[in-house]
């Protein structure tokens, strides 16, 4: 249910319960429901994520709520006021309690906010939460926590409140520039959700009016409380917008249109996630194809290495490329690593010649996996409109959990800053060692480990630098690995190599690796202390 339709429900609701005493609060025969029994009927609040809303029943069969806090503070209390902040999806019902001791004035806050819908009981004296239908932890929300004993923090505003719609230069400019999407409206205007946003756009097209004029008409109706509730094709609306029929009593029955709006919102979010992933995999595939096109044959690598070794002074450094003729007179432009000598570059080419087959196999494997994932993502995109609400929510829940887990891993493993701005990361257990080496470590970074000790894997990040780390930085990273080895004294040998030369041990446990082309530095722990 959109906040603007809640505004249309507020006037008739005030006529029904303002000044009345609540006889009983309980759980009606619906999921996530709260019932407030008055002499003239029952107000039902549904905090169900897929269809939150409120309606009025003449009768009320209810069971007891799990917590007695609700009945202790509300039963026998008189409704003193009903308030909706702006046009947002929040209803506040304030009660004057009948307790003989203490300050018994409380407020029942109904947050009709889709999958985050909640019913919260507050103590007016200090705005502290006495009870809530759903607890919200800091792991679930970075903005606020909701739990008994906590101070209540309202959800963030959903946009511009009525009264500032017509004066918003940003909104007017976006619409005049052709941005007539429903997403612009429900992300900019407070209380306007997918149902109302879509109705505004359709109404403007039918009446052949500008969208900004249609928005201003709705704003005027909200400010003047001039409502004519309307059942559109997607759900209830506060005024007549587009096709549909009038709603004679906005509190007479459940309004199920919100379910459609929430579904459209979820479907749009899931589609965006799939498209972003598809674009990322396609870029990765393009990179793999480029790398495959640039592959040099093993024979050419060997020729380059032999030509470099044939030069008399092959200890020279600083060259980025060199042109040489082979024994058949063919010219070769040989790319070089400028910080290496010609002899070292030759050795690198001979290594590449022996590894070209493996590199080609790895690229073909990456290509095959990317094509399989692209096919799977394209299929998921085509099937997305046919997913049920529960399936959409399950997909989004799994995605949110994956993102949270990734954020948690990044937050747990903090960078250790060395001299001159160099950074290194060290694992504290087998799982973090796996994370540091194979996810945080990139090709070219240096990997350190104390030889013979079950200690930390340390990765020294190059962070885009083209030159090798100086000796003192390598020693600092080695010290980090030695101190994490578990040894308290003595000389510790620390091996280091490039990350690409570290591989998981076959059938080994997390953190168990094999590495090659290592060098060793020795760290004296006694001198460090």
Helix (H, G, I), strand (E, B) or coil at 175: helix
Give 520's strand partners: 495
Q: What is the pLDDT of residues 81-136, one digit of tens each?
A: 999 999 999 999 999 986 655 557 999 999 998 788 999 999 999 999 999 999 99
Name the phi and psi angles at 459, rounded to 5: -115, 125
Rounded Cα–Cα distance for residues 394 and 350 (Å): 51
Domain ranges of the chain: 3-132, 169-255, 292-412, 416-528
Rounded Cα–Cα distance for residues 107 and 80 (Å): 10
260 or 185, which is more confident? Answer: 185
- We find that the CATH architecture of domain 3-132 is Roll (2.30)
Q: What is the pLDDT of residues 313-361, one digit of tens each?
A: 878 888 888 989 888 888 999 999 888 888 888 998 998 888 888 888 8
Is pLDDT of 516 > 90? yes
Those residues with Cβ within 8 angstroms of residue 366's Cβ, 6 or more apart along the chain or in another chain: 284, 288
Instruction: Tell me the percentage of the chain whose pLDDT exceeds 90.
Output: 45
Stated length of the chain: 529
Those residues with Cβ within 8 angstroms of residue 34's Cβ, 6 or more apart along the chain or in another chain: 25, 26, 27, 28, 44, 45, 47, 65, 70, 119, 133
Burial of 469 (0-12, 13-18, 19+ CB in 10 A): buried
Q: Which helix (H) or strand (E) holds 495?
A: strand 491-498
Which of 105, 164, 166 minimizes the C-alpha distance to 130?
A: 105
Q: Using a cut of 0.85, tell me whether the model's pTM lies above it.
A: no
Is pLDDT of 287 > 60? yes
Those residues with Cβ within 8 angstroms of residue 391's Cβ, 6 or more apart along the chain or in another chain: none
Sheet holding 128-132, edge to edge: 78-83, 90-96, 106-111, 118-123, 128-132
Rounded Cα–Cα distance for residues 385 and 380 (Å): 9
């Amino acid at each position: 249910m959109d906040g603007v339709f809640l505004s249309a429900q507020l006037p008739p609701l005030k006529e029904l319960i303002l000044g009345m005493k609540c006889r009983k609060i309980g759980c009606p025969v619906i999921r996530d429901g709260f019932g407030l029994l008055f002499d003239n009927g029952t107000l039902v609040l549904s905090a169900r994520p897929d269809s939150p809303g409120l309606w009025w029943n003449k009768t009320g069969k209810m069971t007891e709520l799990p917590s007695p806090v609700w009945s202790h503070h509300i039963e026998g209390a008189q409704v003193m006021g009903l308030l909706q902040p702006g046009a947002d999806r929040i209803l506040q019902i304030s009660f004057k309690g009948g307790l003989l001791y203490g300050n018994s004035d409380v407020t029942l806050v109904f947050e009709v906010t889709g999958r985050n819908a909640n019913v919260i009981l507050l103590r007016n004296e200090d705005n502290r939460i006495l009870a809530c239908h759903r607890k919200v932890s800091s792991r679930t929300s970075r903005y606020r926590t909701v739990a008994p004993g906590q101070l209540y923090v309202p959800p963030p505003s959903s946009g511009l409140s009525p009264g500032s719609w017509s004066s918003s230069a940003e909104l007017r400019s976006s619409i005049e520039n052709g941005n007539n999407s429903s997403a612009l409206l429900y992300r900019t205007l407070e209380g306007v959700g997918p149902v109302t946003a879509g109705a505004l756009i359709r109404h403007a097209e039918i009446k052949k009016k500008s969208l900004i004029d249609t928005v201003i008409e709705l704003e005027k109706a909200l400010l003047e409380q001039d409502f004519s509730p309307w059942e559109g094709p997607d759900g209830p609306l506060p005024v007549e917008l587009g096709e549909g029929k009038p709603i004679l009593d906005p509190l007479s029955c459940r309004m199920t249109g919100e379910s459609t709006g929430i579904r459209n919102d979820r479907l749009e979010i899931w589609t965006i996630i799939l498209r972003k992933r598809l674009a990322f995999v396609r870029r990765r595939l393009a990179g793999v194809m480029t790398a495959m096109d640039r592959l040099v044959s093993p024979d050419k690598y060997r020729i380059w290495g032999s030509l470099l070794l044939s030069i008399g002074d092959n200890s020279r450094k600083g060259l980025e490329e060199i042109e040489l003729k082979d024994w058949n007179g063919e010219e070769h432009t040989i790319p070089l690593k400028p910080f290496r000598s010609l002899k070292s570059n030759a050795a690198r080419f001979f290594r590449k010649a022996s590894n070209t087959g493996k590199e080609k196999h790895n690229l073909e494997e990456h290509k095959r996996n990317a094509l399989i994932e692209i096919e799977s993502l394209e299929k998921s995109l085509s099937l997305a409109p046919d997913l049920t609400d529960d399936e959409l929510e399950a997909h989004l829940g799994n995605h949110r959990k994956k993102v949270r887990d990734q954020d948690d891993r990044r937050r747990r493993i903090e960078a250790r800053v060395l001299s001159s701005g160099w950074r290194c990361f060290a694992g504290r257990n087998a799982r973090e060692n796996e994370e540091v080496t194979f996810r945080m470590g990139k090709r070219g970074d240096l990997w350190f480990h104390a030889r013979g000790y079950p200690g930390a894997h340390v990765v020294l990040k190059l962070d885009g630098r083209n030159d090798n780390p100086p000796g003192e930085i390598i020693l600092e990273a080695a010290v980090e690995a030695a101190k994490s080895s578990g040894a308290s004294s003595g000389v510790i040998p620390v091996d280091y190599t490039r990350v690409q030369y570290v591989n998981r041990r076959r059938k080994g446990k997390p953190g168990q690796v094999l590495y090659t082309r290592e060098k060793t530095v020795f760290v004296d722990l006694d001198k460090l202390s």
